[in-house]
Amino acid sequence: MIKINLIDPRSFAKDKHKMTDDRPFGGGAGMVMKPEPILRAVESIKKKKGNEKAKVLIFSAKGKQFNQKKAYEWARKHKSFIFISGRYEGIDERVKTVLKAEEVSIGPYITTDGDVAAMTVVSAIARLIPGVIKWESLQEESFFSELTEKEQKDFLEYPHYTRPAVLEWKKKSYRVPKILLSGDHKKIKEWRNKHSKGN
């Protein structure tokens, strides 16, 4: 079973205005998320049964890039996660230090917040939990060599087609490759291998 809880750090701010951000030391644009509300929130989560050893992740553009191998590793090693999703200019660096958290990035670009990153990582990990998706389906996917921790390749899976065999669209016909309609599984496999990027 997959369960997701959302925690508002404002609930753990103790000042009158429930402030979770402040100006950066040294000056500069934007605001930085304060450490205390986040640390209190994480502490409260870890007090609950089953969360004591939860892996703590902070989403940050300067973190290590998330990939399929990392998703597979985390899915096997951890039963629970705490995702810290930043805002503004980021999170006070001491949060990472205190929590011994791992910084992770979902790509070489900036998003407005860490929410999209959290959803991406949840989706990538959840589908690797036994029973969520058939293993046979995973074996034919992109990055499967990374998933199984074999020699890494830039393998991207072959093109997919479904019915109709001939698509009529705006006075043009688009046909499924004949080999896929042949029923010859050996040749189909060869075609798929040939059209997989990285092979």
Check which CATH number belongs to the domain holding 119 and give it.
3.40.1280.10
pLDDT for 160 equals 86
Lowest mean pLDDT among 69-73, 87-91, 166-170: 87-91
Note whether 171 and 74 are same-domain residues: no
Neighbours of 36 (CB within 10 A): 17
| Domain extent at residue 20 | 9-126
Burial class, 76, CB count within 10 angstroms (exposed 0-12 / middle 13-18 / buried 19+): exposed
Which uninterrupted H or E stretch holds 190?
helix 185-194
Neighbours of 117 (CB within 10 A): 24
Beta bridge partners of 91: 33
First to last CA, the chain: 36
pLDDT above 90 covers what percent of the chain? 70
Helix (H, G, I), strand (E, B) or coil at 35: helix
Where are the extended beta strands (E) located within 23-149? 32-33, 55-65, 81-84, 102-105
Lowest mean pLDDT among 51-60, 64-73, 125-134: 125-134
Note whether 38 and 77 are same-domain residues: yes
Confidence of residue 112 (pLDDT cuts 50, 70, 90): confident
- The reply to whether 85 falls in a domain is yes
Total domains, the chain? 2
Mean pLDDT rounded to a whole number for the chain? 88
